[in-house]
Amino acid sequence: MAHEILTLKSVVKRFGGLTVVNDVSLSIHKGGMFGLMGPNGSGKTTLFNIICGLYKPDRGKIFFDGTRIDGLKPHKVFDLGLTRTFQIPRILQRLTVLDNLLIASEGNPGEGLLGLFLRRGAWRRFEREKEMEAKEVLDLLGLKEYADRRACELSGGQMKLLEIARALMTRPKVILLDEPTAGINPVLATKIYKKIGEIRDELHVTFFIIEHRANLLLRNVDWVYVMCRGRIVAEGEPHDVIKDPVVKETYLGG
Q: Give 16's contacts (C-beta < 8 A, 6+ positions apart).
A: none
Q: Give 164's contacts (C-beta < 8 A, 6+ positions apart).
A: 85, 141, 175, 177, 180, 192, 195, 196, 199
Q: Cβ(70)–Cβ(254) under 8 Å? A: no
CA distances from 76 to 53, 66, 148, 171 (A): 8, 14, 33, 15
| pLDDT < 70 positions in the chain | 1-2, 87-89, 106-123, 251-254
Q: What are the residue boundaries of the structural domains of the chain, listed by start? A: 1-88+171-254, 90-169
pLDDT of residue 89: 64
Distance in angstroms (rounded) separating the CA atoms of residues 105 and 214: 33
Q: In what order do the strands lie in the sheet with 82-84?
A: 82-84, 174-178, 206-210, 33-37, 223-228, 231-236
pLDDT of residue 253: 58
CA 140 to centroid of chain Cα atoms? 17
- State pTM to two decimals: 0.89
**In this predicted model, what pLDDT tens digit does every residue of 23-44 receive, in sequence order?**
999 999 999 999 999 998 999 9
CATH tag for 1-88+171-254 (out of 3.40.50.1820, 3.30.930.10, 3.90.650.10, 3.40.50.300): 3.40.50.300
